[in-house]
Homo-oligomer: A and B are copies of this chain.
């Protein structure tokens, strides 16, 4: 076991880093194993400099820095190896938990899936949750004051693609029992659940848009096909997962966006959300 913790450089309230926070809390991984370095300074709304820690590596956050162990002492003297993408970071840590190595708490069950078909099911959701979050970047770019270009029609168009992914999940989860996901419910949450919950929480809490609330009417999708804009299973999922400790937004740990940034994210241009049914909460 190493006595030098891994370092996780993060902006805690931002979407990709937040996925990792939920994962780490779900797994009860302590800071003695992975030291979290929040690089967001609420005062300046920019980079926080912590003098006694290695400076943030170049590149987008999150970044996981793993000490290169130089010898039998397990002591780092050869710098760090970096992993620079949220899913890659989670899976890397998760493999260590599944094996219970390097001091990581041994998994009670696999969050990536025990069998090939279970892994496929989880990969399906991870991919759609990724599509949602990438798609949201387009929605907010054109639709909210946090974006670069005011263009409500473009925002509405891209919202159709995000909804398409959510409609697919809604169908797949038609008969899934969500109540077991509640805290103490005895159910197993997986990596797909974590990614999707993060998306739903981010859009609701940061952008003020509850994506689990449709218009409950038939609308035209991205392919001009008629679909029902209604997400009861996603709403049930969100409510159940939201009861877990890992889901709580902890201001003291940087999980909440600063007020000034939050205000910008919640400012939607006239007409941006008009036809989407995803009205501000």
Binding site for B on A (CB under 8 A): 59-60, 81, 83-89, 91-92, 95-96, 116-117, 119-121, 123-124, 127-128, 130-131, 134-135, 137-138, 141-142, 148-149, 151, 153-154, 157-158, 161, 168, 172, 222
Contact = CB atoms under 8 A, between A and B. Distances in A.
B134 A158 contact: no
The 6 closest A-B pairs by CB, nearest first: A88-B123, A154-B154, A134-B134, A85-B124, A88-B120, A92-B120
A168 B128 CA distance: 22
A88 B127 contact: yes
A6 to B, nearest CB: 12
Contact of A59 (B130, B168, B222): B168
A169 to B, nearest CB: 11
Contacts of A117: 81, 83, 92
Contacts of A116: 92, 95-96
22 contacts: A60-B168, A83-B117, A84-B168, A85-B124, A85-B128, A87-B127, A88-B121, A88-B123, A89-B120, A92-B116, A95-B119, A130-B130, A130-B131, A131-B134, A134-B134, A138-B138, A142-B154, A142-B157, A149-B153, A149-B157, A151-B151, A154-B154
A130 to B, nearest CB: 6
B124 A127 contact: no
Given A59-B168, A85-B127, A88-B127, 19 more contacts: A60-B168, A83-B117, A83-B120, A83-B124, A84-B168, A87-B127, A88-B120, A91-B119, A127-B130, A130-B130, A134-B135, A137-B161, A138-B138, A141-B157, A142-B157, A149-B153, A149-B154, A151-B151, A151-B153
A14 B112 CA distance: 28
A66 B119 CA distance: 15
Given A138-B158, A154-B142, A88 B148 contact: no
A95 B141 CA distance: 38
Interface SS of A by simple majority: helix
A87 B122 CA distance: 11
Contacts of A127: 85-88, 130
Nearest to A148: B157
The winner among A92, A116, A130 for most chain B CB atoms within 10 A is: A116
Contact of A119 (B92, B119, B130, B137): B92
A135 to B, nearest CB: 6
A95 B172 CA distance: 23
Contacts of A60: 168
A117 B80 CA distance: 13
Given A117-B81, A119-B95, A158 B141 contact: yes
